Amino acid sequence: MTTDIAKYRFNHTMYRVKDPKASLHFYTEVLGMKLLEEHHMDEAKFSLYFVGYEDPQSKGLKRLERQGLLELTHNHGTENDPACAYNTGNGENGGYGHIAITVDDLDAACERFDKLGVKFIKRPTEGRMRHIAFIADPDGYRVEILKNSAV
């Protein structure tokens, strides 16, 4: 028995997605994460997709040794269900807010998102906070884009 809490790790954040094709396109092609693992539970009718960045710090680490991953849960059939629209957490009584991605060059990142047709919730030029943008993923989950040289 060991309870070395200093060795605990924040491995992943999970949310549900309606259409994994759209979400995987967004998180890999648009945001540059890698698809690290996928698990298909055909009997229980759901699939899990683990995505994350191949940062130098995590090189050689197994999935469960890493930090900063995203687990996308797909309940089979939601992609064809017009009634499926997830509460993405920022409405009334909403508790969940967003994930944040840090980037070297915020303007370049936003220019690229525009070219890719990404939906903006807040551009750097809007509001008071000029060092951040908010974009929406295919389900509407907020993704903060944050200049890594910001204070």
- The footprint of a second copy (CB under 8 A) covers 1-16, 31-33, 52-55, 57-58, 61, 64-65, 67-71, 73, 85-89, 92-105, 107-109, 111-112, 139, 141, 144, 146, 148-150
Helix (H, G, I), strand (E, B) or coil at 79: helix
Q: How far is the CB of 82 from a second copy (least distance, A)?
A: 13
Q: Is 37 a catalytic residue?
A: no
By beta-carbon proximity to a second copy, the closer residue of 21 and 112 is: 112
By beta-carbon proximity to a second copy, the closer residue of 21 and 62 is: 62
Q: How far is the CB of 49 from a second copy (least distance, A)?
A: 13
CA 73-76-77 angle, 5° bins: 130
DSSP letter at 107 equals: H
138 Cβ contact list (under 8 Å, min separation 6)? 17, 18, 19, 22, 23, 25, 26
Residue 108: what are its φ and ψ, rounded to 5°? Answer: -65, -40
Residues contributing to the annotated binding site for Zn(2+):
71, 98, 144
**Active site (catalytic) residues:** 144
Residues contributing to the annotated binding site:
71, 98, 144
